């Protein structure tokens, strides 16, 4: 699908608003729905809507209290607001589409609205702007492990044929974003240098999670 307003290297901003959320990552070309209700983050969205519509999703460190003022990881991923609506009770329902990862070069003072801003560097992630066409990710092995994972987690899926036929990047990136892994595991997936490396990490995490769930059920009976 062709982007209506494609982002190029030249469009990537030096300053970026960030939204710290634990156990939430974004990856290029993955869509992430968000329910925004805190005043500082409503202000953040208002700013983003008038300034390129980019928001940097980033995880607070595991010992952070609420992600508001605590230390974050140094790598996140910027997403562009592709849908926006306002509810009657004053919340914003937005969807971000992942654009490019970034590193935090410096955290800036809080904006007047209370949201956080950083100086971002993008150089080592310019390749994120183009689709990854890698196909050698051992799809059959990944599908088998994913079935085992979903079975052990008692999660039902009736879209196996669709999953089997989607592009490798979409499969790996979407699973990396939606699977309920820990903060550190999510960060490892985010920081993987390329798609094959991310697929390898994802496969290992699915295997471990399925095994741990099976052992937990066995010990409880």
- Tens of pLDDT, residues 136-188: 777 788 888 998 888 888 877 777 888 888 899 999 999 999 999 999 999 99
Q: pLDDT band at 214, cuts 50/70/90?
A: low
Q: What residue spans define the domains of the chain?
A: 9-129, 139-219
pLDDT at 215: 57
More confident residue, 213 or 188: 188
Cα–Cα separations (whole angstroms), residue 93 to 17, 35, 81, 84, 126? 18, 5, 10, 6, 29
Give the pair of three-digit tokens for residue 179.
């699977």
Which 8-state DSSP code applies to residue 108? Answer: E
Q: Residue 17 pLDDT more than 60?
A: yes
Cα–Cα separations (whole angstroms), residue 200 to 181, 192, 197? 15, 9, 5
9-129: which CATH topology? 2.30.130
Q: What is the C-alpha to C-alpha distance for residues 198 and 186, in angstroms, rounded to an integer?
A: 10
List all residues 6 or more positions away from 8 whose beta carbon is below 8 Å from its beta carbon: 129
Residue with tokens 């609506």: 85
pLDDT at 151: 87
| Average pLDDT, integer, range 88-110 | 97
Give the pair of three-digit tokens for residue 121.
């560097």
pLDDT at 4: 60
- The predicted-structure confidence for 18-67, as pLDDT tens digits, reads as follows 999 999 999 999 999 999 999 999 999 999 999 999 999 999 998 765 54
pLDDT at 189: 98
- The predicted-structure confidence for 63-90, as pLDDT tens digits, reads as follows 765 545 689 999 999 999 999 999 999 9
Q: pLDDT band at 213, cuts 50/70/90?
A: low
pLDDT at 216: 54
Is 29 strand, coil or helix? coil
Q: How many residues does the chain have?
A: 221
From the number of C-beta atoms within 10 Å of its C-beta (0-12, 13-18, 19+), residue 90 rates as exposed
The set of long-range contacts for 146-150, using a CB threshold of 8 Å and a minimum separation of 24, is 146/175, 146/206, 148/206, 148/207, 148/210, 149/179, 149/206, 149/207, 149/209, 149/210
Q: pLDDT band at 135, cuts 50/70/90?
A: confident
Task: Give this prediction's pTM.
Answer: 0.90
pLDDT at 154: 80
């Amino acid at each position: 699908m062709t982007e209506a307003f494609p982002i190029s290297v030249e469009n990537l901003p030096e300053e970026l608003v960030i939204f710290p959320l634990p156990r939430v990552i974004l990856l290029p070309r993955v869509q992430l729905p968000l329910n925004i209700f805190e005043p500082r983050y409503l202000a953040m969205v208002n700013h983003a809507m008038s300034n390129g519509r980019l928001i940097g999703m980033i995880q607070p460190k595991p010992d952070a209290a609420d992600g508001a003022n605590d230390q974050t990881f140094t790598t996140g991923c910027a997403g562009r607001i592709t849908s926006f609506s306002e509810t009657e009770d004053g919340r914003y329902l937005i969807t971000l589409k992942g654009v490019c990862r970034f590193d935090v070069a410096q955290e800036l003072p809080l904006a007047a609205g209370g949201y956080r801003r950083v100086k971002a560097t993008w150089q080592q992630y310019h390749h994120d702007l183009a689709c990854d066409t890698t196909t050698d990710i051992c799809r059959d092995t990944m599908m088998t492990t994913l079935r085992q994972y979903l079975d052990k987690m008692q999660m039902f899926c009736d879209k196996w044929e669709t999953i089997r036929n989607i592009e490798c990047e979409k499969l790996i990136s979407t699973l990396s974003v939606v699977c309920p892994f820990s903060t550190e595991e999510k960060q490892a997936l985010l920081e993987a240098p390329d798609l094959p490396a991310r697929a390898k990490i994802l496969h290992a995490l699915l295997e471990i999670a399925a095994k741990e769930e099976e052992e937990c059920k066995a010990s409880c009976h």
